[in-house]
Amino acid sequence: MDALSDENSKIISQITGREIDHVAPLTGGCVGEVYRVRLSGGETVVVKTGPAGGHLDVEGWMLRYLRENSALPVPEVISAQESLLVMSYIDGQDALSSPSECHAAELLAALHGVTHAEFGLERDTVIGGIVQPNEPNSSWVAFFRDRRLLYLAAEAEQAGRLPGPVRARIDALAARIGEFIDEPEAPALIHGDMWGGNVLVQGDRIAGFVDPAIYYGDAEIELAFSTMFATFGESFFRRYDELRPMRPGFFEIRRDIYNLWPLLVHARLFGGGYADTIEKTLSRLGF
């Protein structure tokens, strides 16, 4: 076996009632390590391990929420503990194609059709190990300003990953955010971490989505995130627009506004050039 601790191996065997035959590392896992584990009898599961306080129990809760409240294909949670998550294995290692992008659009349009009375969620969630505060709010503008922009700008500055002058420019934008974004028709359930590494493809179909960071928000913030690393292209957006027509101004203004959130997440986690990208985005917006 490869790097799975004896203690975790014993816990997995107790949970599944099977002995472990083989362990292979998988890519991904911002908080900890990810493994494909073959059990006696041939069943394969995915195991994520992390440190104490790794919030893997929260990830398990989010996956269960998606399975119970949407038709989005996600792994089945077998066991979710703070530092150990055991899930069903989804085979999906192919590259995105035009047909699979169209399928992704159909799946996400359906997900975004799941609505709620308020923005946020009944509990805080996590993205990349960072807590996402989700105290419900009837106003999307206020929720995005307070629970996303201002919250994470403060977290990134406190961690030494965002210079004070850049934080001040974000504060200036936040004070006028209502001039740039509006209230969507309804709070939409979003996956919340929509980049290519979290999209599993098998042939021309989407096999599953992993590593969610869920809450109810403006569906456009999900669409914006998907453009940050060029996860989806023209085929996706054409099909999505057919199913859920996009409001004017998304690509021109709101995409940049909403991508400040994942940029701040990456700045907080990794530092590096993300603060520079945030500065350039702010400059494009006139701040």
Q: In this structure, which amino acid lies at residue 38?
A: R
Per-residue pLDDT tens over the stretch 198-207: 999 999 999 9
User: Poorest-confidence range of 3-12, 54-63, 222-231, 241-250?
Assistant: 3-12
**Residue range 221-235: mean pLDDT, rounded:** 96
Q: Enter the tokens of residue 265.
A: 């997440």
Predicted confidence (pLDDT) at residue 128 exceeds the cutoff of 60? yes
H/E element, 131: strand 130-132
User: 65 pLDDT band (50/70/90 cuts)?
Assistant: very high
**Residue range 114-130: mean pLDDT, rounded:** 96
List of residues 6+ apart from 232 with CB closer than 8 A: 96, 101, 104, 105, 226
Q: Please count the other Cβ atoms lying within 10 Å of the Cβ belonging to residue 133.
A: 15
CATH 3.30.200.20 domain extents, the chain: 6-88
The whole-angstrom distance between residue 20's C-alpha and the CA centroid of its chain comes to 30
Task: State the catalytic residue, choosing from 193, 211, 218, 256.
Answer: 193
CATH of domain 6-88: 3.30.200.20
Task: Report the C-alpha dihedral over residues 279, 282, 284, 287, rounded to 10 degrees.
Answer: -120
Contact in structure between 278 and 166 (CB atoms under 8 Å): yes
Predicted confidence (pLDDT) at residue 1 exceeds the cutoff of 50? no
pLDDT of amino acid 29? 60
Q: Please count the other Cβ atoms lying within 10 Å of the Cβ belonging to residue 147.
A: 22
pLDDT of amino acid 30? 64
CATH 3.90.1200.10 domain extents, the chain: 98-284
Per-residue pLDDT tens over the stretch 129-143: 899 999 999 999 999
pLDDT of amino acid 31? 66
Q: Could you confirm whether 57 is annotated as catalytic? A: no
- Rounded Cα distance between 45 and 36, Å, is 6
**Residue range 112-122: mean pLDDT, rounded:** 98
H/E element, 66: helix 56-69
Nearest to 167 by CA among 194, 149, 191: 149
Q: What single-letter DSSP state applies at residue 250?
A: I
H/E element, 157: helix 151-158
pLDDT of amino acid 2? 57
Per-residue pLDDT tens over the stretch 66-79: 999 999 999 999 99
Domain 98-284 matching CATH 3.40.50.720: the answer reads no
**Residue range 102-120: mean pLDDT, rounded:** 98
